[in-house]
Amino acid sequence: MAFRLGDIIEKKEHGILHGIQREIACECWFTSQGKSIPKLIKVMDEKGCIHTVGDIQVLTTEEKTYSGIQTVEHICTIPVNGRKEIVKLIFTKETCKWVIVKL
């Protein structure tokens, strides 16, 4: 007797996510193939002021698994105080939430 369990997909575990994470609101474009492209983010600072950041340039996008949680990690440049900063914008598939991590 033979049976097939299906294709086994190996997912590389990336351990834990390092760096200070800050929850954000993100306006995102999803392509017809399901690829996410961040277009605009809103971040609340320590004083409670909300800052809107556009002009996001996505450098790389990679699906990762942190502690068993599937994410999509975008390495991007964003304008901050007149200069470009490199950040990670991370979308958690399970909760549909976004965080930003400064590099």
Q: Is 1 strand, coil or helix?
A: coil
Cβ atoms of 86 and 101 within 8 Å: the answer is: no
Structure tokens at 97: 């939430």
Find the mean pLDDT for residues 35-61: 95
Structure tokens at 49: 């002021």
What pLDDT score was predicted for residue 7?
47
Residue 5 lies in a domain: no
Helical spans, DSSP H, in the chain: none
Nearest to 99 by CA among 81, 67, 68, 76: 76
Residue 2 confidence class, pLDDT cut points 50, 70, 90: low
What pLDDT score was predicted for residue 8?
45
What pLDDT score was predicted for residue 67?
83
Q: In whole angstroms, what is the distance from residue 74 CA to residue 92 CA?
A: 11
What pLDDT score was predicted for residue 17?
67
pTM score of the predicted model: 0.81
Q: What is the pLDDT of residues 45-54, one digit of tens each?
A: 889 999 999 9
Domain region containing 76: 21-102
Residue 65 lies in a domain: yes
Domains contained in the chain, number: 1
